[in-house]
Amino acid sequence: MDKRTVLAIGLSILVLLIFQYFYAPTPVIQTDNQTQTETTGSESAQKEPAEQTSESIDVKKLDSTKEEEKTQVKTFNVKTNNLKITFNSDTGNIYTATILQYKDKEFPDLIFKSENGDYLNVLSASVSGYKHTLKEFNNRYEVQFVGETKDIVINKTYIIKKDSYFFDLKVTISNISDQTIQTSLGVVIGPGLGKGFEDSKYMFSGPLIFNGKQVTKEDPEDVEEPINVDNPSWLGYTSKYFLFSAMNGGLTKAAIESKGDSKAVVKGSKEVIVNPLDKSVTTFPVFVGPKEYDLLSSNKFELEESIQFGIFSFLSVPMLKILNFTYGFMGNYGLAIIMLTFVIKILTYPLTQKSMTSMKKMQVLQPEMTKIREKFKGEPQKMNAAMMDLYKKHGANPMGGCLPMVIQIPIFIALYRTLLVSIELKGSPFIFWLTDLSQKDPYFITPILMGLSMFLQQKMTPTGGDPKQQKIFMFLPLVFTFIFLNFPAGLVIYWLTNNVLTIIQQYFINRKVSAK
């Protein structure tokens, strides 16, 4: 890696850190806006009455429930291999949701919960006094809540698989009256994340809404007026590594709303019209779990787009796939990072080889270039012509290092984002003292080794030009060492490995060019 590349990447790192410190990343998301709504006569019930109301058919409007706020809550738990879901016995809503583990990694006290009541509220017609039943099957639980008034019966059924982070919430509204009824149906998530989630100033945490084209999000403390979105695909609350999301359900509108005290909820709703003695059934798939790429991409909702890879996602995703593939047979993400470094080095080898060879040739030509400058001093046109003849004669290219520099900057930033946001590396050890590749080296051993390798690389890299500039370049290893002190250990391992491979490559190039 030549000095111009190092300087350019150093500047890009500085810009990256400044940008992420002051601004949250804003990815643009595209998802399929599909509706998963089960109906038993409900489609006709929702369409025909809407047409009939314009003909003065009597439609009774029912008020929807509000998020419950109670000082004393009766709850019970349903525990699976991955989750513990706590239900509110009175409201039929999810009171809290606890993530128990991820790939045998235990996360104590990771709880989605609200200080004000239920974390996931179902907005529907006001019904009090829900009764519940719990059934256990071989691979799932079914929790059913039933409440009724003189006009309707509301059934909330949670179908929870024992080995999954996905489950279904099915809401059935049955009209037992002799009038057509109209009511709102939807979900509310929040406010807040809960307990135990990592707070990162570089990554967004809070409420977000996907509408099939882009993500709308806002820090809770910055929400003043409601932020409205039409036709949401899904909505939820996200942290750096975890997501609580409700999908689809045919929602027509959504909003992020302030709840005061720097808190906000995210909600989605639609209008439901049900004919007498008919019912409407709506299913909301729910995800509560880690933002693992393979896990989120295993369904049609494209939840993997919630991972904030940034503008170089087209590079970050393949890098993550290579890491996961290599981890599959090595069982160590540290070794997987080293293998990824080899892959990147092989792919960029032709360009870096050409760049290094060109720089070495330019160093060899320095005495002749100095003579030309002295000979044609004050005659720039003749000097440039003589320089071009010299480059052509010896096959040197003064711009040979530019293309590798341009390519390596997005590769570095993409890998930085990959290691920053990928939960796969969360809690993954490498060797000895490196017990978590997503965290900094606690003893700063790898950053120091990286700095030493950069210094050796600088000594081996062909030099030329202004001596003052050369002295400035010699300080870069020290600057990079301090920058990398707080970087994830996985990223430092990549940079250290890349430096070692570059030193080996530069050694053979220097020998080859000097022998000519």
Interatomic CA distance for residues 307 and 168, integer angstroms = 22
What size, in residues, is the chain?
516
pLDDT digits (tens, 9 = 90+) for 241-262: 999 999 988 899 999 999 888 8
- Residue 218 sits in a domain whose CATH number is 2.70.98.90
Q: Do both 295 and 439 map to the same domain?
A: no
Of residues 507 and 60, the one with the higher pLDDT is: 507
Amino acid 221 reads: E
- Taking 60 as the threshold, does the pLDDT of residue 41 lie above it? no
**275 within some domain:** yes
Same domain, 223 and 345: no
Could you tell me which residues come within 8 angstroms of residue 73 by beta carbon, excluding any fewer than 6 positions away? 88, 89, 90, 95, 117
CB of 414 within 8 A of CB of 315?
yes
**Which three-class secondary structure string do you get for 229-241?**
EECCCEEEEECCC
Structure tokens that stand for 158 in this block: 């949670």
**Alpha-carbon gap, residue 273 to 326, rounded angstroms:** 53
In a domain, 58, yes or no: no
Are residues 174 and 228 located together in one domain of the fold? yes
What pLDDT band is residue 290 in, cutting at 50, 70 and 90?
Answer: very high
Other C-beta atoms lying within 10 Å of the C-beta of residue 427 = 18
pLDDT tens, position by position, 206-233: 999 988 888 889 888 888 889 999 999 8
Residues 320 and 301 in one domain: no
| Highest mean predicted confidence (pLDDT) among 115-119, 198-202, 355-359, 373-377 | 115-119
300 vs 93: CA distance, rounded Å? 26
Using the predicted structure, report yes or no on whether residue 373 has a pLDDT greater than 70: yes
Min mean pLDDT across 150-164, 224-238, 297-311, 469-483 is at 469-483
Q: Quick check: bond before 191 cis, omega within 30?
A: yes
Q: Does 220 share its domain with 268? A: yes
Domain end residue (candidates: 308, 329, 350): 308
User: What backbone phi and psi angles, to 5 degrees, belong to 470?
Assistant: -65, -40
Instruction: Confirm whether 222 is domain-assigned.
Output: yes
Task: List, for residues 103-116, the tens digit of each pLDDT value.
Answer: 666 666 789 999 88
Are 293 and 327 part of one and the same domain? no
| Mean pLDDT value across residues 252-278 | 91
Residues 366, 295 share a domain: no
Give me the number of domains the chain comprises.
2
Q: What's the rounded Cα separation, in Å, for the pair 298 and 296?
A: 5
Matching residue, tokens 């970050």: 316
**pLDDT at residue 129, rounded to an integer:** 81
The range of the structural domain enclosing residue 464 comes to: 316-515
How many whole angstroms separate alpha carbon 297 and alpha carbon 184?
A: 31
Assigned domain for 67 exists: no
pTM of the model: 0.77
Q: Does one domain contain both 435 and 462?
A: yes
Looking at the structure, tell me whether residues 344 and 301 fall in a common domain: no
Distance CA 435, CA 441 (A): 9
Indicate whether 345 and 201 sit together in one domain: no
Mean pLDDT, all residues of the chain:
79
- How large is the average pLDDT for residues 333-357? 82
Last residue of a domain, one of 286, 308, 330: 308
* 49 located within any domain: no
**Backbone dihedral region of 360: left (phi > 0), alpha (psi from -120 to 50 degrees) or beta?**
alpha
Residue carrying structure tokens 């019930």 = 45
Question: Which of these, 275, 308, 280, lies nearest to 293 by C-alpha position?
Answer: 308
8 A C-beta contact, residue 501 and residue 342: yes
Is the pLDDT confidence value at 42 over 50?
Answer: no
Residue 461 counted as domain residue:
yes
Which residue, among 422, 220, 438, has the nearest Cα to 307 in the 3D structure? Answer: 422
**Of the candidates 172, 296, 219, the residue with the CA atom closest to the CA atom of residue 22:** 219
Q: Are 271 and 388 within one domain?
A: no
Nearest in space to 116 (alpha carbons), one of 63, 192, 53 = 192
- Note whether 220 and 326 are same-domain residues: no
Q: Which residue has the tokens 């706590």?
A: 86
